[in-house]
């Protein structure tokens, strides 16, 4: 039976010649990930199950990013619990405040994920790493506990949704607009427990930062994972980040997809996802007059250098609207430094933005940007569920960094063309 990229990676990690959708398999993992919310639960389970040592201290990554810098005593305790476990187990890849950033930004950045890898993480947006040609997916904290001890995880082989990408993106269109457009077409359950397998001539026109954004939000369509083929852009990205070898996995020519769609990049305008689901998308031209109170630019979805560059280019020499609070948080310390060198941080501050240390805080309504009742926010984050960024009567509109920056200037949801 012919296999997709995801299925071939899963087969290779379970010592099988082939796998098929629906099959339950035991896989060996290349990396296990946890954060300050999920890892403490996994650590408790690890100890309850009687485990004493992790299977490999170089194949576990623990990152404090959700409620850090610690927002209260409870979050401080969770981080302390994870920190003590990391030190006790001599976890090589442990990152906390000031030493890393947002988990799904720093793992690719530091070369911890490579093409052909199988990565599991106790966070739903672990699917981000499919941008590098890896199979990566979110798991529960109990699965994380067992995987930390054994290096293995039970999985069900997913079916596949083939997504052919054609054409080139317009000036203000980014990876965020592409994935919002796709989710708007297929819905939040349109790829339920399937792998979203991207292919086609248009992929070469999507940057690595754009691919990471697209793969990151595959889970917002219900997908098990999203995955891109490895090309020269991928290889250029991973070059120099690690000495570890990697495998370039390609789908069989007659790989079977449960269904397929074609996406023409030329047809996509900058997108806005209305409350309270990522599928409620429409082109920015069709938004109407919606005044806003806050703009957030950053997160594991849009906190990379390309996103910062886009926002800085729009904000430079302009001022944030008097009725708007603009919060910007680069995704990692490295990106923060690159923004400093490029002058982006000065552009942000001169415009009237608050620039934060790398954190997930605003995205999940944890801290550093919580919304009050009745407030409306434009955010480059990945979810706009009821109460996602604060009060259940607040509203979140998802966009890419171009619309977000333009909206911060005008005080309403706006196309970047309006401020050019």
Contact between 393 and 373 (Cβ < 8 Å):
yes
Residue 296 phi, psi (nearest 5):
-120, 125
Q: Which residues contact 371 (CB under 8 A, 6 or more apart)?
A: 293, 294, 365, 377, 389, 390, 391, 394, 396
Q: What is the CATH number of the domain that holds 415?
A: 3.30.499.10
If asked whether residues 275 and 183 sit together in one domain, one would say no
Domain identity same for 236 and 365:
no
Q: Are residues 240 and 310 in the same domain?
A: no
Q: Distance between CA atoms of 353 and 50, rounded to whole angstroms?
A: 49
Strand-strand pairing, 24-28 and 152-156? antiparallel
Separation CA 41–CA 409 (nearest Å) = 42
* Coil, strand or helix at 222: coil
Among the candidates 215, 231, 264, a domain finishes at 264
In what side-by-side order are the strands of the sheet with 294-298? Answer: 281-283, 271-273, 395-398, 376-379, 294-298, 325-329, 354-355
Q: Are residues 120 and 252 both part of a single domain?
A: yes
- In this prediction, residue 50 carries a pLDDT of 97
| Residue 130 DSSP class | G
CB proximity list for 381: less than 8 A, separation 6 or greater = 296, 298, 299, 301, 302, 362, 363, 388, 389, 396, 398
CA dihedral 17, 221, 126, 15 (to 10 degrees): -10
- Give, as one character, the DSSP assignment of residue 30: S
Q: Are 52 and 289 in contact (CB under 8 A)?
A: no
Same domain, 90 and 238: yes
Supply the pLDDT for residue 1.
78
The last residue of a domain, from among 264, 286, 306: 264
Res 289: pLDDT: 97
Q: Computed from CA positions of residues 64, 235, 401, 202, in that sequence, does the dihedral angle turn out positive or negative? A: negative
Whether 14 and 48 share a structural domain = yes
Q: How is residue 71 written in tokens?
A: 């927002």
Instruction: Count the alpha carbons within 13 Å of 313 in the hemisphere toward its beta carbon.
Output: 14
Pair (162, 194) in one structural domain: yes
* Whether residues 337 and 411 fall in one domain: yes
Length of the chain: 420
Helix (H, G, I), strand (E, B) or coil at 34: strand
- The count of other CB atoms within 10 Å of the CB of residue 71 is 16
Q: What is the pLDDT of residue 244?
A: 94
Rounded Cα distance, 204 and 173, in Å: 15
Residue partners of 402: CB distance under 8 A and separation at least 6: 172, 174, 270, 310, 311, 314, 416
Extract long-range pairs of 304-308: CB within 8 Å, 24+ residues apart: 304/105, 304/209, 304/212, 304/213, 304/331, 304/335, 305/209, 305/335, 305/338, 305/339, 306/174, 306/207, 306/209, 306/210, 307/174, 307/209, 307/380, 307/400, 307/401, 308/335, 308/338, 308/339, 308/344, 308/401
Among candidate residues 203, 232, 264, the one where a domain is terminated? 264
Q: Are 36 and 67 in contact (CB under 8 A)?
A: yes
Instruction: Please report the DSSP string for 259-305 in residue order.
Output: EEEEEEGGGPPPEEEPTT-TT-EEEGGG----B-SEEEEEHHHH-SH
Q: Are 165 and 208 within one domain?
A: yes
Claim to verify: residue 359 and residue 256 sit in the same structural domain = no
Domain count along the chain: 2
DSSP H or E run through 95: strand 93-95
Hey, what long-range contacts does 237-244 have (CB within 8 A, 24 or more apart)?
A: 237/108, 237/132, 237/208, 238/111, 238/114, 238/115, 238/132, 241/109, 241/110, 241/111, 242/111, 242/112, 242/114, 244/111, 244/114
| pLDDT number for residue 186 | 98
DSSP 61: E
Same domain for 213 and 301? no
Q: Per the structure block, which two tokens stand in for 215?
A: 């793969």
Cβ pair 293, 378 in contact under 8 A: no
DSSP-derived 3-state class of residue 124: helix
Structural domain of 251: 5-264
Residues of the chain short of pLDDT 70, as ranges, are none
Asked if 223 and 195 count as a contact pair (C-beta separation under 8 A), the reply is: yes
Q: Supply the pLDDT for residue 119.
A: 98
Both 250 and 282 in one domain: the answer is no
């Amino acid at each position: 039976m012919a296999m997709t990229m995801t299925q071939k990676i899963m087969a290779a990690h379970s010592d099988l010649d082939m796998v098929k959708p629906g099959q339950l398999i035991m896989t060996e993992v290349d990396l296990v990930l946890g954060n300050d919310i999920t890892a403490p639960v996994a650590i408790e389970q690890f100890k309850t199950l009687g485990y004493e040592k992790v299977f490999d201290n170089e194949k576990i990554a623990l990152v404090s990013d959700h409620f850090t810098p610690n927002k209260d005593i409870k979050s401080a305790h969770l981080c302390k619990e994870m920190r003590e476990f990391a030190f006790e187990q001599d976890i090589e890849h442990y990152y906390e405040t000031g030493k890393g950033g947002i988990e799904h930004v720093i793992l690719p950045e530091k070369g911890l994920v490579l093409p052909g890898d199988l990565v599991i993480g106790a966070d739903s947006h672990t699917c981000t790493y499919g941008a590098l040609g890896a199979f990566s997916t979110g798991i529960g904290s109990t699965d994380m506990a067992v995987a930390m001890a054994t290096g293995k995880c039970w999985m069900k082989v997913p079916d596949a949704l083939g997504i052919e990408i054609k054409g080139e993106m317009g000036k203000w269109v980014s990876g965020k607009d592409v994935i919002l457009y796709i989710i708007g077409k297929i819905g939040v359950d349109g790829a339920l427990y399937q792998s979203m397998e991207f292919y086609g001539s248009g992929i070469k026109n999507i940057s690595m930062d754009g691919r990471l954004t697209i793969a990151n939000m595959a889970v917002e369509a219900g997908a098990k994972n999203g995955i891109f083929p490895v090309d020269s852009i991928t290889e250029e990205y991973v070059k120099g980040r690690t000495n570890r070898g990697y495998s370039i996995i390609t789908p069989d020519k007659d790989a079977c997809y449960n269904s397929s769609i074609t996406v023409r990049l030329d047809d996509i305008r900058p997108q806005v996802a209305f409350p309270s689901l990522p599928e409620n998308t429409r082109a920015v031209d069709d938004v109407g007059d919606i005044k806003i109170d806050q703009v957030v630019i950053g997160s594991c979805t849009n906190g990379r250098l390309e996103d910062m560059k886009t926002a800085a280019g729009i904000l430079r020499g302009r001022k944030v609207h008097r009725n708007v609070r603009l919060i910007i948080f680069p995704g990692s310390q490295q990106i923060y430094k690159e923004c400093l060198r490029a002058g982006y941080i000065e552009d942000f501050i001169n415009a009237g933005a608050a620039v934060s240390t790398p954190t997930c805080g605003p995205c999940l309504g944890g801290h550093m940007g919580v919304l009050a009742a009745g407030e409306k926010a434009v955010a480059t984050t990945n979810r706009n569920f009821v109460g996602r960024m604060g009060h259940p009567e607040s509203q979140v509109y998802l966009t890419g960094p171009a619309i977000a920056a333009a909206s911060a200037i005008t005080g309403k949801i706006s196309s970047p063309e309006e401020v050019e």
